[in-house]
Amino acid sequence: MGGHEQHHVVLFPVMAQGHINPFIALADLLHRRRPDLKITIVNTPLNIQSIKSSLPPNSTIRLRSLPFSPSDHGLPPGTESTAGLPFSLFINLLEASESLHPHFEQLLHDIAMEDGRLPSCIIADNFLAWTVETARKLGISHSVFITGGAFGHALLLSIGLHFLRLPTTQTNHVSVPDFPEIQIDWSQLPRHLFVPDNADKWTGFFHRQNSYCFQSNSMLVNTVKEFETTGLSMLHKLFRLPVFPVGPVLCKPLSSSLDDVSRCVEWLDSHRPGTVLYVSFGSQNSINASQMMELAVGLEESGKPFIWVIRPPFGFDVGAEFKPEWLPEGYEERMREKKQGLLLVHVWAPQLDILGHGSTSAFLSHCGWNSVLESLSHGVPIIGWPLGGEQMYNSKFLEEEVGVCVELARGNREDMMSAKVEREGVKKVVEMVMGGTEKGVEMKKKAMEISELIRASMEVNNGVMGSSIQSLEEFFTAFNLS
Ligand code: UDP
C-alpha cells in the first residue's frame, strides 16, 4: 500500500447468484493479498443480506445496499436475483440493474464524505459495464470483472456487439464477426435472439453493456492463464484492454444441509472409486420434459451409478412439486432398490463434496463456468449439455480445445434438433466417457492435468507466485493499489 493512504475498492456484481459468488471470492482474494485494502461490495438490499450471511462474522469486507423496488420493473415482489425467475423476466431484472445508476453515483459520494476521499477503483460485472460512466465522471479507475471463462465470453460479447437481430439466413454455421476463424452452429446462438417479443430489449441491453466495456481500464477474468491462452488473447483482441486472469475465484456455494451431505457421501462411499456419474444443470436451469424422460431411461440402461440433481422440467415452475409422471414409472424406487441412482429432488446438492469424492468419475453438466472450474479442479471430465448463453461456447472450448468434454446435447427448446435427446445417445456417451474407452481415459488424463494447472495458479511457493496470483499483483501495480 503506497504510504499511509488506504485505498478503497468497490465491487459491484450483477444481481445473480452465479455472478455474486465469484465476486465474494474475488473480494476475499483481494483481502488476502492486500489486508490493508478497504473493500466494499455493493448490491440491492436482499442480495446484500444474503452476501452478509455467506461472509464470516469477523469479515472486514464492507457491504452497502442500493435502493431497489422490484415492482417498478414488472418483477414479482422480493425479486432481486435470477433465482426462480422465469426466463421471460430475466430482461426486466437486467434492465432494472441499469436504473441503479444514480443510486450508485450517490453511494460513491457518500463514501467520499465518510472517508474523505473517493474510492480508488471500481470493479464491476461486465453486465454492469455502465458503471464506467460513473467512474469516468468521478475520476475513479474502472475494471470489468468477467465471472465466466475467457473463450466463452469473448464469443458472447462479440455476438452481443454485432448481432442486433438473429442472422436472417439459417445455415448450419455462423461466423463470429471478430473471430472469423471460429464457426459456431446456429443452435449455439444466444437464446434471447430467438424470443421475438424481447429480442430488441435483450440485444439493446447487451449492446449497451458490451459497448461500455471498451471504455474500462482493464478486464479481470475468472480463469487461469495456462488453461485459456486462446480465449484471453481473443478478449484482448476484442477490447484492446489489459486482461488479468485471476481465477479460479470460487466461493463455497450455499451450504447443503448436513443430512444431504452425509446422504450423498454415504451413497458415494458405497460405490467403487471412479464409477459414479454426477448430473446437474446448475443452480436454476432444467431440461424439458421429453429430454428428462430420455435421460432417465438412458441413465438406467447405461447401468452406471449416478447422482442426479433434479428439478421440474423447463417450462414448469422451478419451485413446483415434482410429479412422478416426469420420470418413467416406478423409476425412483427401482433406482433405490438397485442402488443405481440417487435422485436429489429439490435439494441443494453438496456439489463440491460430490466432485471431490473418489467414487465420482464424470459430470454431466450444463457447463456453467463455476461448475466447469469446480469439476476440473477435481480432475473430473465433463459430459456437456449446455443450455444457453456462454455455456454453449464453454462446452465447445472444453471439447474442441481442451479435450475434457463430450457434448451430449444442446439447449432445452423443443424445436431444436440439437436438443433432441434419445436414450441410446445417452447410453453411448456415458459408455464412451466412463466405460474405460481410449477416449474416456484420455479425457480423465487431461482433466487431471488441468486440475494441476488450476491448483498451481493460486499457489505461492518460496516466493514464486502461480500465474493467477502473479496476474493479480500486476493488476495491483497497474491500478496503483500496491
Ligand atoms: N450448486 C450447488 N448445488 C446445486 C446446484 C448448484 O452447490 O444443487 C452450485 C455449484 O457448485 C456452482 C453453482 O451452484 O458453484 C452453479 O454455478 P454455475 O456457474 O455452474 O451455473 P449457474 O447456476 O450460474 O447456471
Q: How far is Cα 401 from Cα 468, in angstroms, rounded to an integer?
A: 21
User: Do the beta carbons of residue 184 and residue 393 sit within 8 Å?
Assistant: yes
Q: Does the beta carbon of 365 lie inside 6 Å of ligand 1?
A: no
User: Do the beta carbons of residue 457 and residue 18 sit within 8 Å?
Assistant: no
More confident residue, 325 or 163: 325
Non-local (6+) Cβ contacts of 72 within 8 A are: 96, 99
For the chain, the straight-line distance linking the first and the last C-alpha, in angstroms and rounded, comes to 5
What pLDDT band is residue 199 in, cutting at 50, 70 and 90? low
DSSP 8-state secondary structure symbol assigned to residue 199: H
Percent of the chain with pLDDT over 70: 96
Average pLDDT over residues 74-85: 91
Cα–ligand 1 centroid distance for 473 (angstroms): 29
pLDDT (tens digit per residue) in 134-154:
999 999 999 999 999 999 999
Q: How far is Cα 28 from Cα 470, in angstroms, rounded to an integer?
A: 16
Q: Which of 255, 344, 370, 392 to mutate to test the pocket of ligand 1 (most atoms within 8 A of CB)?
A: 370
368-401: buried (b, 16+ CB within 10 Å) or exposed (e) per residue? bbbbbbbbbbbbbbbbbbbbbbbbbbbbbbbbee
Q: Does the beta carbon of 251 lie inside 6 Å of ligand 1?
A: no
Q: Does the beta carbon of 90 lie inside 6 Å of ligand 1?
A: no
Q: Does the beta carbon of 391 lie inside 6 Å of ligand 1?
A: no
Cα–ligand 1 centroid distance for 267 (angstroms): 21
Mean pLDDT of the chain: 93
Cα–ligand 1 centroid distance for 370 (angstroms): 6
pLDDT for res 2: 43
Q: What number does the ligand 1 atom closest to the CA of 282 have? A: 23
* Assigned C-alpha cell, 26: 474475488
Q: What number does the ligand 1 atom closest to the CA of 148 have? A: 19
* Assigned C-alpha cell, 475: 493488476
pLDDT (tens digit per residue) in 104-124:
999 999 999 999 999 999 999
Average pLDDT over residues 154-179: 81
pLDDT (tens digit per residue) in 447-476:
999 999 999 999 999 999 999 999 999 999
C-alpha angle 272/407/428, rounded to 5°? 55
pLDDT for res 3: 46
Is this structure's pTM higher than 0.90?
yes
Cα–ligand 1 centroid distance for 367 (angstroms): 10
pLDDT for res 194: 76
Q: Does the beta carbon of 283 lie inside 6 Å of ligand 1?
A: yes
Instruction: Give the residue among 97, 121, 109 at the shortest CA–CA distance from 40.
Output: 121
pLDDT (tens digit per residue) in 385-415:
999 999 999 999 999 999 999 999 999 988 7
Q: Does the beta carbon of 253 lie inside 6 Å of ligand 1?
A: yes
Average pLDDT over residues 164-170: 66
Q: Does the beta carbon of 149 lie inside 6 Å of ligand 1?
A: no
Average pLDDT over residues 415-436: 92
User: Do the beta carbons of residue 375 and residue 394 sit within 8 Å?
Assistant: no
* Phi then psi dihedrals of residue 383, to 5 deg: -100, 115
Containing 296, the helix (H) or strand (E) segment is: helix 289-302
DSSP letters, 73-132, are: GTPPTT--SSTT--HHHHHHHHHHHHTTHHHHHHHHHHHHHHHSS--SEEEEEGGGTTHH
Kindly indicate whether the ipTM for this predicted assembly is greater than 0.90, answering yes or no: yes
User: Do the beta carbons of residue 479 and residue 141 sit within 8 Å?
Assistant: yes
Question: In this predicted structure, which of 113-122, 188-197, 295-304, 312-321 has the lowest mean pLDDT?
Answer: 188-197
The whole-angstrom distance between residue 39's C-alpha and the CA centroid of its chain comes to: 23
Q: Does the beta carbon of 374 lie inside 6 Å of ligand 1?
A: yes
What pLDDT band is residue 1 in, cutting at 50, 70 and 90? very low
Side-chain-side CA neighbours of 210 within 13 Å: the count stands at: 21
Q: Which of 263, 351, 360, 369 to mutate to test the pocket of ligand 1 (most atoms within 8 A of CB)?
A: 351
Q: Does the beta carbon of 179 lie inside 6 Å of ligand 1?
A: no
DSSP 8-state secondary structure symbol assigned to residue 32: H
pLDDT (tens digit per residue) in 249-279:
987 766 778 889 999 999 999 999 999 999 9
Side-chain-side CA neighbours of 327 within 13 Å: the count stands at: 19
Cα–ligand 1 centroid distance for 481 (angstroms): 32
The whole-angstrom distance between residue 47's C-alpha and the CA centroid of its chain comes to: 17
- Let me know if 103 is exposed, middle or buried by CB neighbors in 10 A (0-12, 13-18, 19+): middle
pLDDT for res 318: 78
pLDDT for res 85: 85
Q: How far is Cα 89 from Cα 199, in angstroms, rounded to an integer?
A: 13
